Amino acid sequence: MTKKANINFRFNLLMVFIYIIGIILIVRLFSLQIVHGAEYREQSNTRLTRESTLEASRGTILDKTGTTLVGSKIEFSLEMYKSKVDTDTLNQSILNMIDVLEKHQCSYSDSFPITIDPFEFTISDESLVNWKKANLLEENISAESAFLKFKDKYKIKNTNVQEVRKIITIRYLLSQQGYSSIRAVTIAQDIPREAVAEFSESSEKFAGINIVVQPVREYTSGNLASHILGYAGKISSEEYELRKNYYSRNDIIGKTGIEYVFEEFLKGKNGIKQIDMAVDGTTTAEYIAKEAIAGSDVVLTIDANLQKITEDALSANIQKIATGGFGKSYQAKAGAAVVMNVNTGEVLAMASYPDYNPADFVGGISQSAWNNYTNNEAKPLVNKATQNSYSPGSTFKMITAIAGLESGTINLNTTINDTGVYTKYRDYQPRCWIYTDYHRGHGFLNVSGAIEKSCNYFFYETADKMGIDNLVKYARYFGLGTKTGIELQSETSGVLASKETRPNLHPNEPYWSPGNTLQAAIGQSDNEFSPLQMARYISMLANGGHKVDVTIVKTIRNADGSETSRQEINQFVNQKLGLESQEEDNIEMNPNYLKAVLEGMKSVTSDSGGTAYVRFKDFNISVGGKTGSAEAPNNKVHAWFVGFAPFENPEIAIVVMVENGGHGNYTAEVVRDIMAEYFGMNTKNVEEDMSAIPYIEIMR
């Protein structure tokens, strides 16, 4: 066969093949359209396929021991699609549906603005005017006449007025929210399993309904750690516009705390459920088209038991101060406490008082509950451990001591004679606290004794000689005046008093004066730090002056069993919170200087003349501590106690601050109770009669 003949043969063979395929297609098309056409048309008219979202379970938040602090529980919701049924069937189906809901005491959406018995409008005058403008109602129409108009509009034949209103309620809801064969309207939420079973067993009685399984946020421990955990709520319009590619309008999203910061990890990925319905609205089949993937679990560094003790001790202490339990009452209403691992920077407990219940925000907070929170002058929604800053008072004096020693201004043998009034400057002559009360000074003190006695005069003289720049250098090294980088939103930087910060804070008096240095040396002037910053500072004192990376997140466990690396967590948090890495000086601390400062802190709790001796004299663990009473605006005095234990081998640092708490000695009770829990001690509360204790022991 020639080459040309071969080509012709192949071409003819291809044409025959195409002809045969064409015949087959024609026969198949004839079968579909003519022979079985009626059958397939009937099937297509009696079956509708819809997609429903399978909501992913939100990730769990746990404490370091695995105790669940925030989880999700399963709730069932009832929704309704538009179906091809006549009006009488639809109305009866709605009535059947409400009968089941009321039988099981389920509430359902009711926004219809007319009540019966008696007939009254429940709509605002403005909305009523809008109704009339939209030709829904005539001028001066009565509530009863308007009700009957809706009855006619929805072609309701029932004569029982109660039943009529139930039908109108749902029909009105459907019309307002615009349901369709592919878009459902939620009728009721959190319905019990018994109701779900009844709907499922008699689905032919309920046209177009669908049961949705929803994971709902559950705060298992009430108010515990509320400022850490935060809360989640329905996505706002603004949030939705920013994230519409990843969220639907009814999604839940983290608003504050861990719920907010780790939203991207906690959210999970929704799946898809396919629903087949007949035209009468009954479900014929359901199957999962795409599995939902649960969100990641966030494991915190806090211990739930220690957290509870911390919160309870802080609350009891504030109430005791406010009711005169220490001999004199102060208007104490708020405070904070932080417990930190001195070596790792892990936050073991963190309390802010007053607190709130995150469960109030699940499903949307009521206006009355929101008003109660926002109108409370103690600001329960604010995390006072991280978001507020306060003058530290005498708890700052260890910084001045370290700076004086490290700069060579003083040494371990230096003694300064406190005469009561610092008279170096004619225009500013501050007094030591002991002179104010006893008209005398402390006499000669070294650095350890100055910390024990909380001698203002010693630190005035030290700071005046070394200058503010040295003081700022060491305060900054201990992290004061800078964010800790904790994984929580809106952390304050605080303020470190300095020549640089003064012009912005005092534009009318921008120049730094010697008096400013004296005040800064005892934790006053512009110095304001958060309790969390103070906990980092005390941790560094206790661990030998080594930097710590503050954290409240232990790890993140993903749905596939893997864990997110620490580097990835840090990068994510820094980007989410807009944190920038800062260049920090690395200062090698002289261990002998640190030892002298810490010995002074030990004397505060162990020597009879120490300002917190009465709180720890019978304690079984050696404690280093420092009291502080910081003057604040409006004649308030914030009470501080900072401490660490065990003194010989420190493990934890604790900081407590009570707004307008009077004296730092009072807050030492909180630290004692927290340490007793941490070290497994069964200690009795020291309920001393404060009137029998010399006043010198409870000052600063």
Share of the chain above pLDDT 70, in %: 86
Above 60 in pLDDT, residue 467? yes
What does the DSSP assignment read for 341-369?
ETTT-BEEEEEEES---GGGGTT---HHH
Examine the domain organization and report whether 530 and 391 are in the same domain.
yes
- Which stretch of 46-50, 486-490, 656-660 has the lowest confidence by average pLDDT? 46-50
Domain tally for the chain?
A: 2
Beta strands 624-632 and 636-645 are antiparallel
Of 533 and 283, which is predicted with more confidence?
533
Question: Does any domain span residue 517?
Answer: yes
Residue 41 has pLDDT above 60, yes or no: no
Q: Is residue 70 part of a domain?
A: yes
What pLDDT was estimated at residue 263?
Answer: 96
| Domain co-membership, 347 together with 285 | no
Is 420 inside a domain boundary?
Answer: yes
Residue 270: per-residue pLDDT: 80
* Residues 566 and 690 placed together within one structural domain of the fold: no
* Long-range contacts formed by 507-515: CB under 8 A, 24+ apart: 512/468, 513/428, 514/424, 514/425, 514/428, 514/464, 515/425, 515/427, 515/428, 515/430
- Tell me what pLDDT residue 207 has: 85
Phi/psi at 189 (nearest 5 deg)? -120, 160
Residues 425 and 526 in one domain: yes
Q: What percent of the chain has pLDDT over 90?
A: 63
The structure tokens listed for 245 are 């590619």
Beta-carbon contacts of residue 125 (< 8 Å; ≥ 6 apart): none
Lowest mean pLDDT of 74-83, 154-163, 279-288, 619-628, name the range.
279-288
333 shares a domain with 273: no
Mean of pLDDT values over 626-651: 95
What was the pLDDT predicted at 190?
86
Mean pLDDT of the 51-68 span: 88
Under 8 Å between Cβ of 609 and 452: yes
Residues 484 and 604 in one domain: yes
For the segment 361-376, the average pLDDT, to the nearest whole number, is: 90
Cα angle vertex 207, ends 202, 212, to 5°? Answer: 75
> Residue 321 is encoded by which pair of tokens?
């101060």
Tell me the CATH number at 519: 3.40.710.10
Mean pLDDT, range 359-387, rounded to an integer: 93
Q: Is the pLDDT of residue 297 over 50?
A: yes
CATH number for 261: 3.90.1310.10
Full DSSP string of 605-659: HHSTTSTTHHHHTT-SS--EEEEEEEEETTTEEEEEEEEEE-SSS--EEEEEEET
Q: Which residue has the higher pLDDT, 609 or 405?
A: 405
Averaged pLDDT, 425-436: 94
Same domain, 448 and 338: yes
Q: Is residue 116 part of a domain?
A: no
* 30 or 369: which leads in pLDDT: 369
Residue 36 has pLDDT above 60, yes or no: no
Answer yes or no: is 659 within a domain: yes
For the ranges 25-39, 184-198, 611-625, the lowest mean pLDDT is seen at: 25-39
Residue 125, class by beta-carbon neighbours within 10 Å (0-12 exposed, 13-18 middle, 19+ buried)?
Answer: exposed
CA 188 to chain centre: 28
CA distance linking residue 376 with residue 49, whole number of Å: 52
If asked whether residues 262 and 244 sit together in one domain, one would say: yes
Residue with the bigger pLDDT between 474 and 215: it is 474
Q: State the chain's mean pLDDT as an integer.
A: 88
In which residue are the tokens 């930097």 written? 547
- The predicted pLDDT at position 287 comes to 67
Indicate whether 507 belongs to any domain.
yes
Rounded Cα distance between 189 and 234, Å, is 14
Cβ atoms of 624 and 539 closer than 8 Å: no
Q: Quick one: average pLDDT of 554-558?
A: 96
Q: Interhelix angle for 591-606 vs 531-542, to 10°? A: 110
User: Do 293 and 253 reside in the same domain of the chain?
Assistant: yes
Which residues have C-beta within 8 Å of that of residue 551, sequence separation ≥ 6? 301, 344, 345, 346, 347, 486, 487
Residue at which a domain ends, from 564, 581, 598: 581
d(CA 379, CA 362): 20
267-294 pLDDT, tens digit per residue, is 988 877 777 766 655 667 776 778 888 8
Domain assignment present for 310: no
Q: How far apart are the first and last CA of the chain?
A: 116
Residues forming beta bridges with residue 252, ordered by sequence position: 234
- The reported pLDDT for the residue numbered 604 is 97
The verdict on residue 501 lying in a domain is: yes
Query: 327 and 216: one domain?
Result: no
Let me know whether 272 and 326 are in one domain: no
Identify whether residues 423 and 442 lie together within a single domain.
yes
Structural domain harbouring 637: 318-357+386-547+584-698
Inform me whether the pLDDT recorded for 131 exceeds 90: no
**pLDDT for the residue numbered 161:** 92
Which tokens belong to 301?
């560094």
CA distance 28 to 513: 98
Of 256-260, 284-288, 368-372, which gets the smallest average pLDDT? 284-288
